[in-house]
A and B are shown apart, each in its own frame.
Chain A
Amino acid sequence: MTSLLIIIVLVLLGIAIWQLTKIFDLTQVGAASGSDNSEVANDRDNNVNGYLMFAFLGFIYVFTIIGLAKWGHLALGTPASEHGPQYDNLMTISMVLIFVVQTITQFLLHYFAFKYRGKEGKVAFYYADNDKLEFIWTIIPVIVLAGLILYGLYAWTNIMFVDEDKEDTLIVEVYAKQFNWEVRYAGEDGVLGKANVRYIEGVNTLGVDMGDPNAQDDIQASELHLPKGKQVIFKFRSQDVLHSAYMPHFRAQMNVVPGMVTQFSFVPTITTEEMRLDPMIMDKVANINRIRSEKSAALTADGKEALAPYTFDYLLLCNKICGASHYNMQMKIVVEDEADFNKWLGGQKTLGAAVKESQASEAPAETPAPATEEQPETVVADTAAVAAAH
């Protein structure tokens, strides 16, 4: 069916081309008297294409307006992080600037192409140079860009340079592998245990060094929960290839590089629940659900399973080509009040406990295991002391 459609489209296209050539040929008929069919543009061609240039300007404008009206709402909507509004503000300023410059320059370009279309006997104006004009259009971009650069660098510094010694921050490790995300919280001591892929074994899928006292209270999870209003410092690690942790609603992104730890930080400001009530997001969700229900109708008519309705959630996406299933490497992010967050975190098992449990379940036959297991317990106390001193 589809191939038939494609064939039909191709045939129609062929006919269209043929007809268009005829039209252009016909436009030549009138002019042919004076011209020589030399394949060089004559007055007729200049006229037709001059008008088409003007029409093309209209096309650009109309397409832009239609785009803004029809697709403008597709944008991400209210930013959910502290630096987000600043980001959006800079984006808005740049966009307004771009639209103004685009509108003016495209007008000049296409209008001149139309206005000064060639005519037999007309002589162009010999005008080779004007230092003043050159100066003007050098200095205007300089000034405008200086403003943009300064604002941009100010925002960049705010976002990227994180004071790690600041009190009351949450340190979270985001761990990437083909094609999954995992997270690790620093636990009570606020320090992530050391890790390397060489320690990966059994339930210890993040390669945490269980000999490191700081590692014992670390908490591993497969869903990223964040407390509202707290500075979150992300530490990114990858076990295989490059990934990129993209959290579009927070205007946040950082590549995840095997062999090194990268970092990004932001303060979530809107909980998932609050975001679901945001008017822009509600519109977006309603629109998506309308589309999904239409699709579902078609699916059920075919006897297939209907799509589940969509509810809004923050997402962490992989945004650096990482392999065949790159397109489906995602994790849900839940932003909640600090109390809810602490409750959730409290309900998670610490890594030390998880590792011990799994070893215990495998251990019965192997006697030496418990002996080595005793050690971490004693060190945990030390860690707490270290953390306190810190």
Chain B
Amino acid sequence: MSAVGHEIHGHEEHHDAHDHHHKDTFITKYIFSIDHKMIAKQYLLTGVIMGIIGIVMSILFRMQIAWPEESFTIFKVLLGDKFAPDGVMRNDIYLALVTIHGTIMVFFVLTAGLSGTFSNLLIPLQIGARDMASGFMNMISYWLFFLSSVIMVISLFVEAGPASAGWTIYPPLSALPQAIGGSGAGMTLWLVSMAIFIASSLMGSLNYVVTVINLRTKGMSMTRLPLTIWAFFITAVIGIVSFPVLLSAALLLIFDRSFGTSFFLSDIFIAGDVLHYQGGSPVLFEHLFWFLGHPEVYIVLLPALGITSEIIATNSRKPIFGYRAMIASILAIAFLSTIVWGHHMFVSGMNPFLGSVFTFTTLLIAIPSAVKAFNYITTLWRGNLQMNPAMLFSIGLVSTFITGGLTGIILGDSTLDINVHDTYFVVAHFHLVMGISALYGMFAGIYHWFPKMFGRMLNKNLGYIHFWVTAVCAYGVFFPMHFIGMAGLPRRYYTNSAFPLFDDLADVNVLITMFAIIGAAFQLVFLWNFFYSIFRGKKAPQNPWKSNTLEWTTPVEHIHGNWPGEIPEVYRWPYDYSKPGHDEDFVPQTVPMKPNEEQLHH
């Protein structure tokens, strides 16, 4: 194993040394590239496309919730006659849309699209490395991700519909095609796609970890790493710890589905027949799933928090407040995130004593989260805030992180969870705290590092419009959901009209859908800005945001190996903004300490 690693690594150095001799062809430069910057862009583009699919799906099912069982031309066009006869969405297709929306957004957009893009782009650039530890493995990681995306999209066209057992794919519903049509070929493709995705994610994560540990440039100690790198590093570690467990869950589920084993199934009578399954437990699946599923929340969120730490410091022209506390809280969150999965299962039928333990560990997470939030706020205090779009999205992230995080106190409490479990209260909570927050982190990252990726600037005015409309609509969608959740409205209901009890919630649901449609429509502003600026945007200077980190010391034009000459050496931490005694309000990491310059014990 290690011999193979060395071989690839050796080959790479060789490749670097002779880089100037042979020209990249179109295929090696844009398609099967092993340059981390190109791979980052590939991740981003794939993520954006998957994001479009995921968000369009959410609009479709939101329309169904607001105007149940009404006929819409858009359903006819997008879903076809089979999934939406006469333009009325079928009830199992509603569930399919909910399922695939969740899967795509969590895994394909916010895991691969966010972490894949920025880990790849920033880890080598910010630690001063020529590329990832293994560029080849990095390339394979992307192409496996691409393959899994393609399979997931293909599963949408299966005759009986795509997977529709919820993104958590709890068996037996996900195991039995008799229970719901989507659990046939659609579910098989889902599982295959996710297995490939996990392989991709593991390859990526291993690469990130090895790169951060081994390839830091001279002077770049762990306590001089930008917080982005800390976040990506720890995220990769959590991914390595937890994704294999999902893979084993998926494999066992494949066994149950295809080879007649009984890991998760027992005593089932369906469609007039007793099935042979005996002795398995769906609760076991829930444990395995959430052992990944909860850390996954932080896999999604930590990179976003890392990105905002960097952006808030740069745009506040101030050091991030409490650098070491920020690292400690990332570590604490990462550790705690692996021992709280049971809070998704308080009413699953597991021993209530376990519920007590998980309540305890879950509420502990509030402590490092609070530390992070307060540190962000203190960083703004007495700053000189440059309101670039990336900064707005970062502030927006802190806002939704607080709003969404606070309701976690309710859901993490096993007692209170009893009555809001699986209601819209939960939907509101996790969309704000991980969905919207992570999306904001992703947007912030795109606005901030677009000049680094494409050598051009995004239009800031379009960015402002994008942010403000999105910010209002995000609250407009998810804030009212708390109320309908408190009213006891379960999530994943095709229509609420079967219960007169919920008739008084119909207005709110219409309002939510309106906000969702407007919010989604304004993402077109972003897409336009994004694609237009790639080709026609204003040319970017080398360091547009006057930032300290190493990526801004590289030339605007991408070159293989990042720096034309020697790799720069690092003399200081990355947050010397507005440091007294310097002429400018930023001191890049490559600037040596002045004689007698005070070094803080950050």
Q: Measuring CB to CB, which residues of chain A are less than 8 angstroms from any residue of chain B?
A: 2-3, 6, 9-10, 13, 17, 20-21, 24-25, 28, 37-41, 45-46, 48-50, 52-53, 56, 59-60, 63-64, 67, 71-72, 74-76, 87, 90-91, 94-95, 97-98, 101-102, 105-106, 108-110, 112-113, 116-119, 122-130, 133-134, 137-138, 140-142, 145, 148-149, 152-153, 155-157, 159-161, 177-178, 196-198, 200, 207, 236, 239-242, 244, 246, 248-249, 251-255, 257-260, 262-263, 284, 287-288, 291-292, 295, 307, 310, 315, 317-328, 330
Asked if B280 and A17 make an inter-chain contact with CB atoms under 8 angstroms apart, the answer reads no
Partner pick for B392 among A49, A106, A118, A307, CB 8 A cutoff: A49
Instruction: Write out the residue numbers on chain B whose beta carbons fall within 8 Å of the beta carbon of A254.
Output: 347, 349
Asked if A17 and B347 make an inter-chain contact with CB atoms under 8 angstroms apart, the answer reads no
Answer whether residue B185 sits at the interface, using C-beta atoms and an 8 A cutoff: no
Contact with A along B460-481 (1 / 0, CB 8 A): 1110110010011001100110
Can you name 7 A-B pairs with beta carbons within 8 Å?
A50-B385, A74-B484, A74-B487, A76-B486, A145-B363, A255-B347, A258-B268
Residue among B73, B403, B418, B462 with the highest chain A CB neighbour number at 10 A: B418
Asked if B173 and A323 make an inter-chain contact with CB atoms under 8 angstroms apart, the answer reads yes
Asked if A315 and B179 make an inter-chain contact with CB atoms under 8 angstroms apart, the answer reads no
Asked if A156 and B494 make an inter-chain contact with CB atoms under 8 angstroms apart, the answer reads no
Instruction: Write out the residue numbers on chain A whose beta carbons fall within 8 Å of the beta carbon of B471.
Output: 56
Instruction: Write out the residue numbers on chain B whose beta carbons fall within 8 Å of the beta carbon of A315.
Output: 499, 501
Select from chain B the residue with minimum beta-carbon distance to A2: B72
A66 to chain B, nearest CB (A): 10
Given contacts A197-B269, A254-B349, A321-B95, contact A127 B416 (CB under 8 A): no
> What separation, in Å, do the CA atoms of A110 and B601 have in the docked complex?
29
Asked if A117 and B267 make an inter-chain contact with CB atoms under 8 angstroms apart, the answer reads no
Answer whether residue B261 sits at the interface, using C-beta atoms and an 8 A cutoff: no
Partner pick for A330 among B488, B498, B508, CB 8 A cutoff: B498
B377 to chain A, nearest CB (A): 5
Instruction: Write out the residue numbers on chain B whose beta carbons fall within 8 Å of the beta carbon of A98.
Output: 406-407, 409-410
- B residues contacting the other copy or chain, number (CB 8 A): 146
Answer whether residue B518 sits at the interface, using C-beta atoms and an 8 A cutoff: yes
Instruction: Write out the residue numbers on chain B whose beta carbons fall within 8 Å of the beta carbon of A108.
Output: 377
Q: Measuring CB to CB, which residues of chain B are less than 8 angstroms from any residue of chain A?
A: 67, 70-74, 90-92, 95, 165-166, 170, 172-173, 176, 179-181, 265-270, 274, 279-283, 316-325, 347-349, 352, 355-356, 359-360, 363-364, 366-367, 370-371, 373-378, 380-388, 391-392, 395, 398-399, 402-403, 406-407, 409-410, 413-416, 418-419, 421-423, 457-462, 464-465, 468, 471-472, 475-476, 479-480, 482-484, 486-488, 490, 492-496, 498-501, 503-506, 508, 517-518, 521-522, 524-525, 537-538, 541, 544-545, 575, 577-580, 585, 600-602
> What separation, in Å, do the CA atoms of A159 and B418 have in the docked complex?
10
Instruction: Write out the residue numbers on chain A whose beta carbons fall within 8 Å of the beta carbon of B423.
Output: 319
Instruction: Write out the residue numbers on chain B whose beta carbons fall within 8 Å of the beta carbon of A87.
Output: 415-416, 418-419
A86 to chain B, nearest CB (A): 8
Asked if B384 and A94 make an inter-chain contact with CB atoms under 8 angstroms apart, the answer reads no
Asked if A127 and B321 make an inter-chain contact with CB atoms under 8 angstroms apart, the answer reads yes
> What separation, in Å, do the CA atoms of A72 and B475 have in the docked complex?
17
Instruction: Write out the residue numbers on chain B whose beta carbons fall within 8 Å of the beta carbon of A252.
Output: 418-419
B364 to chain A, nearest CB (A): 7
Instruction: Write out the residue numbers on chain B whose beta carbons fall within 8 Å of the beta carbon of A90.
Output: 413, 415-416
Asked if B268 and A197 make an inter-chain contact with CB atoms under 8 angstroms apart, the answer reads yes
> What separation, in Å, do the CA atoms of A133 and B180 have in the docked complex?
54
Asked if B270 and A178 make an inter-chain contact with CB atoms under 8 angstroms apart, the answer reads yes
Asked if A38 and B409 make an inter-chain contact with CB atoms under 8 angstroms apart, the answer reads no
Select from chain A the residue with minimum beta-carbon distance to B600: A128
A36 to chain B, nearest CB (A): 10
6 interchain residue pairs of minimum CB distance:
A259-B266, A248-B488, A262-B349, A160-B352, A39-B457, A49-B387
Instruction: Write out the residue numbers on chain A whose beta carbons fall within 8 Å of the beta carbon of B90.
Output: 324
Select from chain A the residue with minimum beta-carbon distance to B181: A324
Instruction: Write out the residue numbers on chain B whose beta carbons fall within 8 Å of the beta carbon of A246.
Output: 422, 488, 490
Instruction: Write out the residue numbers on chain A whose beta carbons fall within 8 Å of the beta carbon of B74.
Output: 3, 6
Asked if B409 and A94 make an inter-chain contact with CB atoms under 8 angstroms apart, the answer reads yes
Instruction: Write out the residue numbers on chain B whose beta carbons fall within 8 Å of the beta carbon of A239.
Output: 267-270
Instruction: Write out the residue numbers on chain B whose beta carbons fall within 8 Å of the beta carbon of A263.
Output: 349
Instruction: Write out the residue numbers on chain B whose beta carbons fall within 8 Å of the beta carbon of A177.
Output: 269
Instruction: Write out the residue numbers on chain A whose beta carbons fall within 8 Å of the beta carbon of B458.
Output: 39
A377 to chain B, nearest CB (A): 28
> What separation, in Å, do the CA atoms of A207 and B283 have in the docked complex?
22
> What separation, in Å, do the CA atoms of A89 and B144 have in the docked complex?
51
B238 to chain A, nearest CB (A): 22
> What separation, in Å, do the CA atoms of A75 and B525 have in the docked complex?
37
> What separation, in Å, do the CA atoms of A262 and B380 have in the docked complex?
50
Instruction: Write out the residue numbers on chain B whose beta carbons fall within 8 Å of the beta carbon of A110.
Output: 395, 399
Given contacts A90-B416, A118-B385, A323-B179, contact A137 B374 (CB under 8 A): yes
Given contacts A148-B409, A240-B179, A324-B91, contact A38 B501 (CB under 8 A): no
Given contacts A124-B383, A240-B172, contact A288 B504 (CB under 8 A): yes
Residue among B355, B484, B490 with the highest chain A CB neighbour number at 10 A: B490
Asked if A24 and B464 make an inter-chain contact with CB atoms under 8 angstroms apart, the answer reads yes
A21 to chain B, nearest CB (A): 6
B494 to chain A, nearest CB (A): 4
Residue among B320, B409, B465 with the highest chain A CB neighbour number at 10 A: B409
Partner pick for A116 among B73, B165, B380, B600, CB 8 A cutoff: B380
Asked if A126 and B318 make an inter-chain contact with CB atoms under 8 angstroms apart, the answer reads yes
Instruction: Write out the residue numbers on chain B whose beta carbons fall within 8 Å of the beta carbon of A48.
Output: 387, 464
Select from chain A the residue with minimum beta-carbon distance to B370: A141
A218 to chain B, nearest CB (A): 18
Asked if A17 and B465 make an inter-chain contact with CB atoms under 8 angstroms apart, the answer reads yes
Asked if A321 and B165 make an inter-chain contact with CB atoms under 8 angstroms apart, the answer reads yes
Asked if A197 and B267 make an inter-chain contact with CB atoms under 8 angstroms apart, the answer reads yes
Instruction: Write out the residue numbers on chain A whose beta carbons fall within 8 Å of the beta carbon of B180.
Output: 323-324
Asked if A112 and B498 make an inter-chain contact with CB atoms under 8 angstroms apart, the answer reads no
Instruction: Write out the residue numbers on chain A whose beta carbons fall within 8 Å of the beta carbon of B364.
Output: 145
Select from chain A the residue with minimum beta-carbon distance to B482: A67
B114 to chain A, nearest CB (A): 22
> What separation, in Å, do the CA atoms of A292 and B501 have in the docked complex?
11
Given contacts A127-B318, A248-B419, contact A74 B504 (CB under 8 A): yes
Partner pick for B602 among A9, A97, A128, A140, CB 8 A cutoff: A128
> What separation, in Å, do the CA atoms of A134 and B373 have in the docked complex?
11
Select from chain B the residue with minimum beta-carbon distance to A139: B367
Instruction: Write out the residue numbers on chain A whose beta carbons fall within 8 Å of the beta carbon of B415.
Output: 87, 90, 152-153, 155-156, 159
> What separation, in Å, do the CA atoms of A20 and B385 have in the docked complex?
23
Instruction: Write out the residue numbers on chain A whose beta carbons fall within 8 Å of the beta carbon of B392.
Output: 49
> What separation, in Å, do the CA atoms of A153 and B268 have in the docked complex?
35
Select from chain B the residue with minimum beta-carbon distance to A313: B501
Instruction: Write out the residue numbers on chain A whose beta carbons fall within 8 Å of the beta carbon of B578.
Output: 123-126
> What separation, in Å, do the CA atoms of A101 and B73 have in the docked complex?
45
> What separation, in Å, do the CA atoms of A105 and B181 have in the docked complex?
47
Partner pick for A153 among B316, B359, B377, B525, CB 8 A cutoff: B359
Asked if B319 and A128 make an inter-chain contact with CB atoms under 8 angstroms apart, the answer reads yes
Select from chain A the residue with minimum beta-carbon distance to B508: A71
A384 to chain B, nearest CB (A): 29
Asked if B419 and A116 make an inter-chain contact with CB atoms under 8 angstroms apart, the answer reads no
Instruction: Write out the residue numbers on chain A whose beta carbons fall within 8 Å of the beta carbon of B522.
Output: 13, 17
Asked if A102 and B384 make an inter-chain contact with CB atoms under 8 angstroms apart, the answer reads no
Select from chain A the residue with minimum beta-carbon distance to B409: A94
Asked if B382 and A198 make an inter-chain contact with CB atoms under 8 angstroms apart, the answer reads no
Partner pick for B479 among A67, A129, A137, CB 8 A cutoff: A67
Select from chain B the residue with minimum beta-carbon distance to A259: B266
Given contacts A2-B71, A118-B384, 16 further A-B contacts (CB under 8 A): A2-B70, A17-B524, A39-B457, A53-B395, A108-B377, A109-B395, A124-B577, A127-B378, A127-B382, A240-B176, A240-B269, A241-B176, A257-B348, A258-B282, A259-B268, A330-B498
